[in-house]
Structure formats: structure tokens, C-alpha cells
Chain A
Amino acid sequence: MAGSDHISRRDFVKLTTAAVGTLIAAAVGLPAIGYLIDPALKSSKADAWIPLGKVAAFPVGKPTLVSFTQSQVNGWEKTVTSHGVFVLRKSDTETVVISNKCTHLGCQVNWKTDKQEFICPCHDAQFDINGRVVGGPPPRPLDSYSGDQLKVENGTLFLHFMEG
């Protein structure tokens, strides 16, 4: 029926089939895309406030090592990593936290009270009490945390630790 407003039975069936088919394909196809790209949409940053201990318990002027573990969940797998930081109370009000991870190759540095330096056992890197490089191969000072990255609640020092 050319020129008529009525659509033929065959065209109607074609149109309905195409419409329903598209609908079903979209209903399954769009979730399928979401399913595949899901890990990319999740934030992977480990982000937590770590309690380091009572502020009053840390001696003034001497870096004190605090160890803690950080766990990260990837899918069904949980990885636990150990970290160490030195808490240094410069005065009653000013506290700074210094990472114990050497910036050269990632070994753990130790505080030597007699030398007043952090010494890395791997390649003899030396850092001063504020983490600045004194000698050896490290390219930059030890990572340190201060200001917004620290907070004190009920006398307990917290470190805002991010990884990834």
C-alpha cells in the first residue's frame, strides 16, 4: 500500500523485532561493559589514618621508630605491607614524622644517637635528624610528614598515610 499511512504487517514485524532486539542487547551489553571496566572505576589508593601512639610518650629531640602494617585489597587478594616511620618531637608543640625508607634503594635506615644521623645499612647513606642528605648516594631527603598529614586526637598521634 504505497503512499498509505499504514505500515505493512511485514514492516511492523521487522521494526518490532529490531526495537526489542536493540533493547535486549542494550540491557545486557551495557552492564557487560561496566563489568569489564569495573576495576578501572574503583579507587586503588590506600588511604587511612594510622595511630602511631600517645604524643606524650615520644621523647623530645630523639627520633622514635614506629612500625605499622597497611593492608590493600585487590579483588580477592589482600596484601599486607609493613612500614616504619620515625616520630620526632622537635618541641612540645611541633612534631614531624619521617619515613625510614631510604630514598636511594628503599632499605630501612636506622637512627644512630651517637652520630645524630640516620644511617642506611645498605650503602652507607647518611641523613641528618630532619631527613636531609648528609652523605652517600640518596637523590633526595627522606620522605617526611607534617602539617595536614598529622593530627592529634585525645593525645594520640595519627598519620594520614596514602599509598599507590
Chain B
Amino acid sequence: MWKKLFAWLDERLGLNDLYKATLDRPEPKGTWWNTLGSASLFLFIMQGVTGIFLAAYYTPSPDHAYDSIQYIMTGVAFGWLIRGIHHWGATLMVLVVFIHMIRVFVTASYKYPRELTWLIGVGLLVLTLGMGFTGYLLPMDQKAYWATTVGTSIAGSVPFIGPFILKALRGGTDISALTLNRFFAAHIWMLPAALAALIGTHLYLIIRHGESAYPDKDD
């Protein structure tokens, strides 16, 4: 019965081919360092899921942002767990993505034909840092306020177009309700959408080229 159902689905969806391409690929001999890309992907999914759950209670308004997070931490069942995973997962993701990049650099995996995979990876790193930066403002406490003040001021120090960048980031000259709302929109819609698209391409390229073998003495 199940076999028949699976065969029917497989014939139409190509499940077996999909499985072979994604999870049963031939791989060169690797180490635990080769698992960091998958770890980054897992963390991205985990951040997405816990983030969606947090959005059920969080309010992106300067009047209520802090209170709503206090409520998540003390008033909602397991709110501390969901926010804790999101908080520490964010830090861990930046760390894992960074070490993943160092591994690719050290093993020279960015070379032909994988230059595009590397370039997209650079984009993913920048977007991950962007997620960290925008997410940091959302609690709207003193730390968040001043971190955003300093961060956007640094962007504002660019010659000539600095003041424009600063106003575009803050949604005005000061940190305000507009800043919080556009950081929130960036954090839950724009950056994740861009991340998902780039991750898709990154994965496609990995499946297409296979993982790189470690360089040996002849290389």
C-alpha cells in the first residue's frame, strides 16, 4: 500500500532522484569542518521558525516593543525558550557562517568552478550580519537604541553620500518609530527573502559542482 503510494508519487515528483541529489551525493572524504554549511542552513531554518513564533507576540512600536518582549519573557508559556533560542541562535549563526567561510578559504574551495558559490556566500555573510544588526534594535531598550545610533552613524560617515545613507537607514535624521518599523520590515521580510533566494542558489551550485576535494600535495 505505502510502496504503491510512494511509487506513484515518485513517478511524478522524482523523489528518489531528489534524495540522491541532495542527501545521497557522492562526496570526497571530508571532516567535521565540511558540515558547517549544513549547520548554517539548519540555523537559518531554526531562526526562521523561532522568529515566526516571536512575531505572534512582538509589537514593532516604540511604545510597546519593550513591553511586548517583557511579556514574551515572563507572561507567555515557554516564551523565554523561544526567544532564548532565537537570541543565542543568532549569535551562533554569525559564528558558524564565519567559520564556514574560513574553512572554504583555507581549503581553497572557492577556486574554479566554484567562484560564484563563494561570491554568493559573501552575500550570505553580509545578509547574516544585516539580520544581526536589524534584530538588535527590535527590543528597543537602551542597548538597542545606542547600538543603532552608533551603527547608522558609521554608515553616515561615508564621504558625500553619508548623510543620505544615514537618513535612508533611520527613516529620517533621528532614531524614531520609523527606524524601528523599517528595521523590523528588513528583519522579517526583506533580508530573509534575500537570504532564502541566495541560499537556494548557493545550494543549487553545491549540488551542481559537488563538494570540493581537499587539495593534496600535487595541487
Contacts and interface: CB of A to CB of B under 8 A. Distances in A.
B64 A38 contact: no
Max chain B CB contacts within 10 Å: which of A28, A31, A35?
A: A35
B77 interface: yes
A77 B59 CA distance: 12
A75 B82 CA distance: 17
Interface in A33-83: 34-36, 38-39, 41, 75-77
Interface in B70-88: 70-71, 75-79, 81-82, 85
B56 interface: yes
Contacts of A38: 76-79
Nearest to A76: B67
Given A36-B56, A75-B75, A31 B70 contact: no
Contact of B70 (A32, A39, A76): A76
Contacts, number: 39
Contacts of B68: 75-76
Max chain A CB contacts within 10 Å: which of B53, B67, B68, B77?
A: B77
Nearest to A27: B81
Nearest to A78: B67
Contacts of B164: none
B76 A76 contact: no
A36 B85 contact: no
SS class, residues of chain B in contact with chain A:
helix
Nearest to A34: B77
B53 A75 contact: no
A76 B78 contact: no
A35 B70 contact: no
B78 A32 contact: yes
A31 B64 contact: no
Contact residues on A (Cβ < 8 Å of other chain), bracket: 10 to 19
A21 B76 CA distance: 26
A35 B53 contact: yes
Interface in B34-68: 53, 56-57, 64, 67-68
Contacts of A76: 64, 67-68, 70-71, 75
B79 A35 contact: yes
Contacts of B81: 28, 31, 35
B10 to A, nearest CB: 20
A96 B120 CA distance: 76
A39 B79 CA distance: 12
Given A76-B68, A76-B70, A76-B71, A35 B85 contact: no
A59 B12 CA distance: 85
